[in-house]
Structure formats: C-alpha cells, structure tokens
Chains A and B, each alone.
Chain A
C-alpha cells in the first residue's frame, strides 16, 4: 500500500491513537520516513493532542457558593 500525503494527513488522528490496522500503521511509518512535510504535520497533530489533554487542568474554578447552596438544599 502506498500512501499519498493526503492519505497520511487524513489518517493522522487515528494513527496517533493507535486505531489503525498494523499494515496501515506500517504504511504511514514508511511514508513518514521519507516525507519531511508529513513528519512535521503529524508532529503538530501530536502536539495539538498533547495540548488538548493538558488543557483540562489549570482552568479557573467556578464559584463555590452556588455549589454549596445546591448541596444544602438537596439535604432538606
């Protein structure tokens, strides 16, 4: 199977998640071995996923007063 750059770009997300078949994964890896631009693109996708995964932390917490008042009224 020979993959074009377009195929690799379309497979990038699945490839990074490991949800492609083994022969497809090999085909992607072979393409990446020889294609600097796709290496750059897949690398950027990897960084994007990394940023998304760490973006859940560090957000400002919501107001606690409302949470407390909900809790108290549920106990009545």
Chain B
C-alpha cells in the first residue's frame, strides 16, 4: 500500500486505530518542515530536534482530542509553535520572532526615477527544468536556511507547505499585511540566490 498518497485525515484515522506505519508516514511527510520552523524559534539545531520530538509526542497524546476544525497540518504547526516557545523559554534559547527584519535585497537596484539601475540578468535554465535538478533544490534549501527566521517561517508555511495566508497568520500570530511583506522579502531573497547561480 502506498501510504504516501493517503490524506492526513486518513492517516490520522489509522493512527487512532493503532497503525504504526500511518504515524511513520506522517513523520516522513512533516519532519523536515517542522524542523525548519522549529529552527526559527530556537537558535540551536539539537534543541530544534527536541522540539520536533516533543511535537510528535504532543500529537500522539492529543490526536484523540483533535476536533478537525482546522486541517491537521495547521494543528500540527500550532502544536510545534507552542512547544518551541515552551522549550525555548525553559532552555533560555527562545528568540521571539522579531518584526524587525531589514530588507535590503532590492535596495540600490533602482535609480531615483524608479527604473532599474541593476537589472536582473537572463537565467540559463528553462522553467520546466528548474524544479528538477538536485543542484537547484540544494540552492533553495540553503537560501531558506539563510533567511531571517520570520521570513523563513512564512515562506516555509505558504510556499512549501501551501497553507493559506489566514492559517499562516494564525499559526505565527502575525497580521495579514505583515505576512505579505515577509513572503515578498523571503521570495525576493530566494530569487536572488537562484540568480547568483543561474544568471548568464
């Protein structure tokens, strides 16, 4: 059986009826994004792994009470954010997501009249091949890790996890406007990282 194709809700039902492999499938699906988000809250890789482990324990304990008013994904990331805050504060490694993230990627690329002073170069690879190569994936992964925490969280949840903006605002407790600005800045930086490799 290819469990990878089953929906979260179906897997949850299986977990509730005691199926271990369903839980393993959920872990496969969400471990990396959870880690990425955890690292935004605690500046320590080992602690981030602990936080994710706590999250899974919390999921196993709380899944019976999960009322499915939101998607499982949203609930999961909320559990993570709560665990990250708790553990982070306890270990004195908590860094509250600051609003104060400077964006300088586009600054200086325009002249006083608003026209391009430093225009984007042409990329060497076609759109169809862009998503496929390992090298591109690794450039993106690195660019994501280099993003300031709040930008990284928003890009991870919106673009990679494809949660909608309302869910993301809910999970991260930020406003819609702020969320759009952060998404813009994060994507701009990832584009710049790709450009460094892809420009002729």
Quote the shortest CB–CB distance from A72 to chain B (angstroms). Answer: 7
- A contact residues around B53 at 8 Å (CB): 66, 70
Residue interface mask B152-168, A partner, CB < 8 A = 1? 00010001111001000
- B contact residues around A4 at 8 Å (CB): 110, 113-115
Chain B interface size, under 10 / 10 to 19 / 20 to 34 / 35 or more? 35 or more
Residue interface mask A42-76, B partner, CB < 8 A = 1? 00110111111111101101101011101110110
| Chain A residue total in the interface (Cβ 8 A) | 40
A48–B188 alpha-carbon span in the complex (Å): 9
Asked whether A13 and B123 contact (CB < 8 A) given A7-B114, A50-B130, the answer is: no
Asked whether A71 and B23 contact (CB < 8 A) given A10-B106, A56-B160, the answer is: yes
Q: Decide yes or no whether B79 CB sits under 8 A from chain A.
A: no
- Which partner residue on chain A sits nearest B141 by CB separation? A55
Quote the shortest CB–CB distance from B139 to chain A (angstroms). Answer: 9
Interface stretch of the complex, out of B25-33, B83-91, B93-101: B25-33
Q: Decide yes or no whether A5 CB sits under 8 A from chain B.
A: yes
A64–B180 alpha-carbon span in the complex (Å): 36
B interface SS class = helix
Asked whether A55 and B131 contact (CB < 8 A) given A5-B114, A40-B120, A62-B31, the answer is: yes
- A contact residues around B15 at 8 Å (CB): 71
Q: Decide yes or no whether B1 CB sits under 8 A from chain A.
A: no
Contact B20 A55 (CB under 8 A): no
Query: Which of B160, B187, B195 contacts A55 (CB under 8 A)?
Result: B160
Which 7 pairs across A and B sit closest by C-beta, in order of nearness? A4-B114, A13-B184, A52-B159, A74-B60, A6-B114, A67-B27, A6-B110
Could you jot down 24 A-B contacts, CB within 8 Å? A4-B114, A6-B110, A9-B106, A13-B188, A19-B165, A37-B116, A37-B120, A40-B120, A44-B195, A47-B194, A52-B159, A52-B187, A53-B160, A53-B162, A56-B162, A61-B28, A64-B24, A67-B28, A68-B23, A68-B24, A70-B57, A70-B60, A71-B24, A75-B18
Given contacts A51-B136, A55-B137, 18 further A-B pairs with CB under 8 A are A5-B110, A6-B115, A9-B110, A13-B188, A40-B119, A40-B122, A45-B187, A45-B191, A47-B194, A51-B130, A52-B187, A53-B162, A55-B131, A55-B141, A59-B32, A62-B28, A68-B23, A75-B18
